[in-house]
Amino acid sequence: MKSNNGKRLSFLFYSLSFLSLVISCLPKRYVMSVYTPSILGYIFLILLLVVIILFIYLFIRDIKINRYKQILERIIVIILGILIYHMVRNYWL
């Protein structure tokens, strides 16, 4: 049961991370109004917060049960995501 929960949370983490990455690659005008974030901007901020919380939760959980491979996978995914984000923003947008 715990393992299933872990897989679901892990799946959720990857899904939300992907979604955050997609939104973060959009031009600023889609996420920012004149003064405040747009609805999509607020969604992005919430997604980002959830992804960070999920990452920390899963990290602590996997440390406890010595699942280092999963931790490494998530770190690699995050690093890749950051790299893609930078490439898109620096060379595409």
Partner 1 sequence: MFRLLTAYVSCEKDIPLIEDQKENNLPDNKNIRVVPWSHFEVDNGEIAERIAPIRNNGLKSRDTITSNTYGFSIDDSKVQIIENDGYTTYTFFAFRDSVLPNILENYTYKAFDDGSYEQYLLGYHYTLDTDGYKIFDTMVLDIQVIQDNNLILGRTTGCTPKLVDVIEGETCVYNELCTGNSHSYGQQCDCTTAPSTCDPPRTIRCNDTFIWIYEEDLSCGDGAGPGDNSTNNNNSNNNGGGGTGGNTTNNNTDETTDATPMEDPAPEWQEIADCLNDVGILGDNNSTMLDHEVFEALGEILTPDEWRVFKSFLVRQNNCSVEAQQSVIDELLEILEVELMNQLEANPFLLLEIDCLQIENWQTLAQHTAPQSVLDKIENLPSSWANNFEIQPLDEANGTMVNLDYFSVNITTLPNNPDTNSQFTADGLLDYIRRNFNNFVEDTTFDPYCEIPSMCQTETDLWNSNNPLGSIIYIDIPIDEGVVVCTEYTNSYWYFMTMNAPYAGNHPVSGTRQFGYELNLDGSFSFFVRGVDRFDSNTVENGSYLIDWIFGDEEISNAFDGSDELWESFQSKINQFVDINDGDSTIIEATKNRPDWDKVQQVLMGELPISELGCND
Binding mask 5-44 for partner 1 (x = CB under 8 A): -------------------x-xxx--xxxxxxxxx-xx-x
Query: Nearer to partner 1 by C-beta: 42 or 68?
Result: 42
Are the C-beta atoms of residues 58 and 48 closer than 8 Å to each other? no
- Closer residue to partner 1, CB minimum distance, 1 or 34: 34
- What gap in Å lies between CA 66 and CA 76, rounded to an integer? 18
In contact, 48 and 36? CB cutoff 8 Å: no
Residue type, position 84, single letter: I
Which residues are at the interface with partner 1 (CB under 8 A)?
24, 26-28, 31-39, 41-42, 44-45
